[in-house]
């Protein structure tokens, strides 16, 4: 049986081989015939050469090539137009195929009265929801069709709404952006959904001790508008409704307090699209900024646990005193810091407009505190700079039994800087890090658009980046020492969280700086 099966298999194999050979020869001859009849039209597939195709060295007829880019391209100049109602439109061109457009409003939590407490926090979450002209679903689909990216941010002084997409969609980008900001529907179910998320966010805030203490030093250190919380207080959530948001927007989102800024958009093209959509905004006189006064103070919240978190802060000048605000930024770079197992740090907690959200190398605090005292889990310098005032401080996290010594070490380091402990190498390194952070941030289209909008809201113009870099270059060791000496004479703001039983009294720490 096996022998019969084997002979049949051998016969079948012979038949298959004969058929395959015949088809292979037939295919080869067919290819040869077709290649000769086609005059080599497909010979390039097999690496051959066809006399019917032109050489790659010969320019194609009827095709004009664009001029090549120069080795050095001058940056586009910023153009600003002020509409009759006071709204400013600013833009600069770039060679990037994409564009970023933002609408920035001089309206943050400092403008919240008790009736509107927490409104800016909720407005940030309600951005790009349903409008009077679009459902949220339609808005999302339109943004997706553009391949766009949207974001919104709320700070103590300003609100920002941004959209980013290819330049070919500039008219659509502008229309979606302005509709979202001017015509929000504030549907009850959308407001209630975002309020639930706000409650969760507030609940999780306690798990971020550094962020919690940065809020605490503002509420303890200031009286007036800057003491208003950036996050909606739990007690205010029940009072936040669509009607409250609508009233807040109608009172504060006025033409004189708005700037539409764009990066990568031709100014004339932008004007044609924006002017019809924003020229009818009411021309209301820009109100004076609500007053704030730095007073210093103490905040403590004992929650137990295995760590003590603390922050020591002092007042520094705001952006209206530009040189000293820049010194504060360089001082933050100089002090550096970070975690005990990380070399990154000065970007943590950095909220200045010069160097926003960028981690760079740490130095002074890492070298003198984190490397020498294992009880420290982290130690980081931070700044929070506003138009007319600001804060410079140091945040630390230690084991509870080391809290008193840890605060003393931080005070000693600040005294050392004021006393001239910094050498030229330290300063040069901090200045290089500051300039690097500025330039790398401005490589982002969205940050460039934000920089245009926020500077115009603050100064009425955009100062060139070289202006800031030159100020950084001109700083000396004496500038750093004199600035720090002046800062630590201001009233101390102190905040602590976690196991605070061993944190020394406010008066004893304050006397350390006198």
DSSP one-letter string for 38-65: TTTTTGGGGT---TTSPPTTSPPTT--P
- CA dist 137 and 29 (Å) reads 61
From residue 362, how far is each of 63, 310, 482 by CA, in Å? 54, 19, 23
Report DSSP state, residue 233. P
Neighbours of 365 (CB within 10 A): 27
Neighbours of 463 (CB within 10 A): 13
**Per-residue pLDDT at 206 exceeds 90:** no
Residues of the chain with pLDDT > 90: what percent?
A: 67
Q: Which helix (H) or strand (E) holds 98?
A: strand 98-105
More confident residue, 196 or 342: 196
Report DSSP state, residue 67. P
Per-residue pLDDT band at 59 (split at 50, 70, 90): confident
**Per-residue pLDDT at 341 exceeds 50:** no
Mean local confidence (pLDDT), 414-429: 90
More confident residue, 9 or 470: 470
**Per-residue pLDDT at 403 exceeds 50:** yes
**Per-residue pLDDT at 327 exceeds 60:** yes
Per-residue pLDDT band at 56 (split at 50, 70, 90): confident
pLDDT value of residue 310: 96
pLDDT-wise least confident of 65-79, 206-220, 257-271, 381-395: 65-79
More confident residue, 205 or 189: 189
pTM of the model as a whole: 0.80
Residues of the chain with pLDDT > 70: what percent?
A: 83
Mean local confidence (pLDDT), 74-89: 90
**Per-residue pLDDT at 33 exceeds 80:** no
From residue 11, how far is each of 17, 20, 21, 23, 497 by CA, in Å? 10, 15, 16, 19, 89
Average pLDDT of the chain?
84
From residue 235, how far is each of 188, 190, 199, 224, 240 by CA, in Å? 20, 20, 11, 19, 10
**Per-residue pLDDT at 223 exceeds 80:** yes
Mean local confidence (pLDDT), 77-98: 93
Mean local confidence (pLDDT), 356-383: 70
- Six-digit token pair at 452? 């245009």
- CA dist 455 and 448 (Å) reads 11
- CA dist 340 and 355 (Å) reads 23
Per-residue pLDDT band at 486 (split at 50, 70, 90): very high
User: Which option is the CATH number for 296-513: 3.40.50.970, 3.60.15.10, 3.30.830.10, 3.40.50.20?
Assistant: 3.30.830.10
Domain ranges of the chain: 79-279, 296-513
Query: pLDDT tens digit string along 252-300?
Result: 999 999 999 999 999 999 999 999 999 999 888 888 899 999 999 999 9
**Per-residue pLDDT at 507 exceeds 80:** yes
The distance between the two most distant Cα atoms of the chain, rounded to a whole number of Å, is 110
Q: Which helix (H) or strand (E) holds 190?
A: helix 188-205
More confident residue, 143 or 283: 143
Per-residue pLDDT band at 301 (split at 50, 70, 90): very high
Mean local confidence (pLDDT), 396-400: 94
From residue 445, how far is each of 96, 97, 265, 271 by CA, in Å? 9, 11, 11, 19
pLDDT-wise least confident of 7-11, 75-79, 108-112, 396-400: 7-11
DSSP one-letter string for 273-334: HHHHHHTTS---PPPPPPPEEE--EEEEEE--SS-EEEEEEEEEE-TTSHHHHHHHHHHHHH
User: Which option is the CATH number for 79-279: 3.30.830.10, 3.40.50.1220, 3.90.79.10, 3.40.50.150?
Assistant: 3.30.830.10
**Per-residue pLDDT at 13 exceeds 50:** no
pLDDT value of residue 200: 92
**Per-residue pLDDT at 74 exceeds 80:** no
């Amino acid at each position: 049986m096996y022998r019969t099966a084997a002979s049949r298999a051998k016969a079948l194999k012979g038949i298959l081989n004969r058929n395959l050979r015949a088809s292979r020869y037939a295919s080869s001859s067919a290819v040869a015939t077709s290649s000769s009849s086609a005059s080599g039209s497909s010979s390039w597939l097999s690496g051959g050469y066809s006399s019917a195709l032109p050489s790659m060295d010969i320019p194609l007829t009827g095709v004009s090539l664009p001029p090549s880019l120069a080795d050095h391209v001058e940056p586009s100049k910023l153009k600003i137009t002020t509409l009759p109602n006071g709204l400013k439109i600013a833009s600069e061109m770039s060679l990037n195929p994409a564009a970023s457009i933002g609408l920035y409003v001089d309206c943050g939590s400092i403008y919240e009265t008790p009736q509107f407490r927490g409104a800016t926090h909720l407005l940030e979450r309600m951005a790009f929801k349903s409008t009077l002209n679009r459902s949220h679903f339609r808005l999302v689909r339109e943004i997706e069709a553009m391949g766009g990216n949207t974001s919104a941010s709320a700070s103590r002084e300003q609100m920002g709404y941004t959209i980013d997409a290819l330049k070919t969609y500039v008219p659509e980008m502008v229309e979606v952006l302005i509709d979202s900001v001017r015509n929000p529907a504030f549907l009850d179910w959308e407001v209630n959904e975002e309020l639930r998320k706000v409650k969760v966010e507030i609940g999780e805030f306690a798990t971020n001790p550094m962020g919690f203490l940065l809020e605490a030093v503002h509420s303890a250190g200031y009286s007036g508008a800057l003491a208003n919380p950036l996050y909606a207080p739990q007690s205010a959530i029940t009072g936040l409704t669509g009607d409250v948001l609508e009233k807040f927007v109608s009172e504060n989102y006025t033409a004189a307090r708005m700037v539409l800024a764009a990066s990568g958009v031709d100014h004339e093209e932008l004007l044609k699209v924006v002017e019809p959509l924003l020229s009818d905004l009411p021309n209301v006189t820009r109100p004076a900024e609500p007053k704030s006064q730095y007073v210093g103070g103490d905040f403590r919240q004992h929650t137990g646990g295995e760590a003590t978190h603390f922050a020591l802060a002092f007042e520094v000048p705001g952006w209206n005193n530009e040189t000293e605000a820049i010194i504060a930024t360089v001082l933050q770079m100089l002090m550096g810091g970070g975690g005990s197992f990380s070399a990154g740090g000065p970007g943590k907690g950095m909220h200045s407009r010069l160097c926003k959200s960028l981690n760079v190398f740490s130095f002074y605090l890492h070298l003198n505190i984190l490397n020498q005292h294992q009880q420290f889990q982290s130690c980081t310098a931070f700044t929070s700079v506003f138009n007319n005032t600001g804060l410079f401080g140091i945040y630390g996290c230690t084991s509870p039994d080391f809290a008193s010594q840890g605060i003393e070490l931080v005070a000693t380091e600040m005294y050392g800087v004021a006393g001239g402990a910094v050498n030229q190498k330290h300063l040069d390194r901090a200045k290089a890090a500051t300039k690097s952070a500025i330039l790398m941030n401005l490589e982002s289209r969205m940050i460039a658009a934000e920089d245009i909008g926020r500077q115009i809201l603050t100064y009425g113009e955009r100062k060139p980046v070289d202006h800031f870099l030159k100020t950084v270059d001109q700083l000396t060791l004496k500038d750093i020492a004199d600035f720090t000496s002046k800062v630590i004479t201001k009233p101390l703001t102190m905040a602590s969280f976690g196991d605070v039983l061993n944190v020394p009294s406010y008066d004893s720490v304050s006397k350390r700086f006198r």
